[in-house]
Structure 1
Amino acid sequence: MLRGMDIAERYIRLAHGLAAHIDGLVDAYFGPPEWAETTKRDPKRLLLEAADLLSALDDVPDAARREWLRAQAAALQTHARLLSGENIPFAEEVRGLYDIAPLGAELAELDVALKAFEDSVGGTGPLLERLEALRAKVTVPDGDVLRVAQPILAELRKRTAEKFGLPDGENFSIQLVKDKPWGGYNWPLGNLQSRIDLNTDFPVRLTALPDLLAHEGYAGHHTEHASKEARLVRENGWQEHQMQLMLTPECVVSEGIAMNALEMLMPREEVETWLSGELAQLAGLDPDDILALLKVSAAQEKIRHVSGTAALMLLGEGRPEKEVQDFLAHYSSSTPQRAAQSLRFIRTYRGYIYTYSVGHKLVRDYVAAKGTAGFKALLQEPLTPEQLRRGGM
């Protein structure tokens, strides 16, 4: 049945067949509805379909399209292997699903970085109490988040359009939500539109808001999805890009774009001036408190790969959840509630946690080698983690 189909239809039908078993695998789909077959098929059959799809890719003439589909199809094959009952070690699972290796840190390295971070926090008393007191001073009340977000989004959109271009008609809505394992989420809706949800389970700090809005909006997820829809679907007719998948290599590139989005629009020094000036006044916050937290946050950024190490502990080594949650709370200097939310994300999304750290580095290195044109290509062209590794060397 599948052999006579267009390659995009075969790919989309296979993904939906797997999604009938895997919640959240298909993150968005706005293609032909008849391709979104949700009837459960036997995992062994899906495994055969994945192998058949990989073989068929040899006949795809466009190299960029072929290599992107090959990376995605290999990940779908790994999903089918897991569904078929194959016991795959966690590190191999990450490589099979994302085309990257899991990234952790040595405890000695974390201890050194944590000590430097603790030294950067002023005052006396327990570290977490001092941190939470400082964070509370730069919190934007829930009822004020969308008001403060609007001028930030306007500036980010203007810069994105000037530097990288935006397709005519792109737009998104934004709303506040609760009880989610993530801080923000972009839902592609098709027709160059998307919806951004901001999670207010925990207080939203002004210092984090520009990065969060850049990550989900301009020049991050929304910009990438709209740009690729305009370029790859509307211009090229590559209908596979009418679907976005979670738990596949495309997420490494997407999260890497989003993690670097704010830095691509304005340097850190300008962001700090913006936060402690115009945005502090808009939010009614003390600029000195904002600068103090920015200094602390810069020191905390050097405590790298905490979440990735926690995932290796939990999923690779089988450590108890309480031990992993305590590890997260200690090295992230976070409350037990925030550590529990981080643990919930790792339990839910498993190896996805590495798309942030590894994707961040891959995109940063690629842009360092290719310049601004490299980031524009990432927004518009189908690139894989392996292609970024080669291009960023």
Structure 2
Amino acid sequence: MHKLLAGGVAMLIAGSAWAASVQEVGDRYMKLVLAVGQHDASYVDAYYGPPLLQEQAAREKLSLAAIRSEAEAARKALPPAGADTDGDEALRIAFLDKQLQSMVMRVDMLNGKKFTFDEETATMYNAVAPQHSRAYYLELQDRIGKLLGGEGPLADRVKAFRARVEIPKDKLRPVMEAAIRACRERTAKYIAMPANESFVLEFVQNQPWSGYNWYKGDAHSLIQINTEFPIYIDRAVDLGCHEGYPGHHVYNALLEQTLVKGKGWQEFSVYPLYSPMSLVAEGSANYGILMAFTPEERMAYERDVLYPLAGLDPALAEKYAALTQLFGKLAYADNDAARAYLDGKATRAQTVEWLVNVLLYPPEKAEQRIRFYDANRGYVINYTVGADLVGDYVKRHATSADPDTARAQRWTAFRQLLSSPRLAGSLR
């Protein structure tokens, strides 16, 4: 039998339902996320709430069985949204329900229970990725091949061209700082950030990811870029927007400003990585690239600013921009590779072959990507399905025929999304 402490009031939860306010469930949810973090080091992606709660989680070290029981009880205790429930409050209730549901699944996975890729993503991220065969990607590969020209395996031709747009190691910092600055300036035209917002940029190695934002609270982030493998010129804007502006840094800062400080919803001071929240986080970070730059604006900026700064030939910019847009259309091949590999339908060697010859990854990067699958499983759908859902949601709000007005409308919808407890269900 376990006692649930919420708002200083002890409520018996074992064996019976209990009534609670949304705030009480939110408080308990926050403590349970920290409790899961005692069993799964990667589960708590960010926390900037009271240190006392972290200390309590470490001291109590609730068992997985206790966490599961309390999470299910907390879901049942959520009051239903009524006709007079405020819109954001209704979203908050739905948020807590889905987050707690995903927590139960994560606990089951930590206990050794197996799920298929699609079963996992349906509950964990509230979405399922479409599935495509190898033949689906052949037309895209033909277009890439025609754009590149030349002879030989397509993967080799892609690798040779990319070598011409690799950022030299000694140019990485100035190029990345310039890209982040441009992303920040473009975002600032439409989103007012907290006055004290800031970030630190670090370069690291030996990670399964290419970039990461570690949100520290009080509108401050640590942005890390993995330099283990070559970084090509397009990744400067990609990472600058995705990890910084208007991506993860902006998303976390606005949630803190609007929900934690503005509404007192303390549950948003903790971010469980394996949860529906990540579909919106990664989806908005990926779609944020298109919010900051149209394809034409991006190509011009890279050609006129980043290529010279990196010591690369600006004459390559137009062709490489066309190439990267085609690469983007291959993105769902990543989900297909992860699904087949994690469901046991493809071996590691077969998955490497798919990544190299379908997704056109360099062989060494393919191995890194499989390490990401091993570590994060179905998380990969958040970059693709998430970006599509966010993009569809934002574009629905752009009703004006005037391009400038429509762009402002997209930014308004995007800013509201980043400041609210929306999950996939409320984007559809």
Give TM-score scaled by structure 2 length: 0.87
2:329 alignment partner, SS class: coil
Q: Is structure 2 residue 79 aligned with structure 1 residue 45?
A: no
Q: Deviations over 1:353-382 (max 9, x none)?
A: 001111011000000112322101111111
1:2–1:10 contact (8 Å) kept in structure 2: yes
Contact 2:282 2:382 in 1 (8 A): yes
Q: Aligned residue for 1:128?
A: 155
Aligned match for 2:205, one of 178, 188, 191: 178
**Matched letter for residue 32 of structure 1:** P
- Cα deviations by residue, 1:212-235 (Å, 9 ceiling, x for unpaired): 110000110001111111111111
Q: CA 1:319–1:133 in structure 2 vs 1: closer, same or farther (change >3 Å)?
A: closer
Q: CA deviation at 1:274?
A: 1.1
Q: How does 1:255-294 map to 2 (within 5 A)?
A: 255-294=282-321
Q: 1:1-393 residue pairs with structure 2 within 5 A?
A: 1-5=3-7, 6-36=24-54, 37-38=57-58, 39-58=60-79, 62-371=89-398, 372=410, 373-389=412-428
In the TM superposition, residue 309 of structure 1 has moved relative to its aligned partner by 0.5
Structure 2: state its 5+ residue gaps. Answer: 8-23, 399-409
Shift of 1:115: 2.3
Report the alpha carbon displacement of residue 318 of structure 1 after superposing the two structures with TM. 4.0
User: What is the Cα deviation at residue 205 of structure 1?
Assistant: 1.3
Please tell me whether the aligned partners of residues 184 and 197 of structure 1 are also in contact (alpha carbons under 8 angstroms).
yes
2:140 maps to a residue whose letter is A
Equivalent residue letter for 1:377: Q
Q: Indicate conservation of the 8 Å contact 1:95/1:101, yes or no.
A: yes
Give yes or no for contact 1:91–1:316 (8 Å, CA) kept in 2. Answer: no
What is the CA–CA distance in structure 1 between the aligned matches of 2:257 and 2:45, rounded to whole Å? Answer: 19
Whether the aligned pair in 1 keeps the contact of 2:6 and 2:25 (CA below 8 Å) is no
Contact 1:103 1:354 (8 Å CA) reproduced:
no
Q: Which has the higher helix share?
A: 1
**TM (normalized to structure 1)?**
0.94
Identity percentage of aligned residues: 31
What RMSD over aligned residues (CA atoms) do the two structures have, in Å? 1.7
C-alpha separation in 2, matches of 1:243 and 1:354: 22
Q: Determine the C-alpha separation between the residues in 2 that align with 1:209 and 1:378.
A: 25
Cα distance in structure 2, aligned partners of 1:334 and 1:351:
19
Distance in 2 separating the partners of 1:218 and 1:4? 36
**Structure 1 segments of 4 or more deviating over 6 A?**
none
Matched residue SS, 1:332: coil
Task: Supply the distance in 2 between the matched residues of 1:296 and 1:90 (Cα, whole angstroms).
Answer: 30
- The structure-2 alpha-carbon separation of the partners of 1:56 and 1:65, relative to structure 1 and needing over 3 Å to count, comes to same
Opposite residue 331 of structure 1, the aligned amino acid is V
**Alpha-carbon distance in structure 2 between the residues aligned to 1:136 and 1:87:** 41
> Is the 8 Å Cα contact of residues 206 and 228 (structure 2) preserved in structure 1?
yes
> Separation in 1 of the partners of 2:197 and 2:70?
35
Equivalent position amino acid for 1:66 in 2:
I
Report if the CA contact (8 A) 2:46-2:270 is conserved: yes
Q: Measured at CA, do residues 87 and 286 of structure 1 come closer, stay the same or move farther in structure 2, by a change above 3 Å?
A: closer
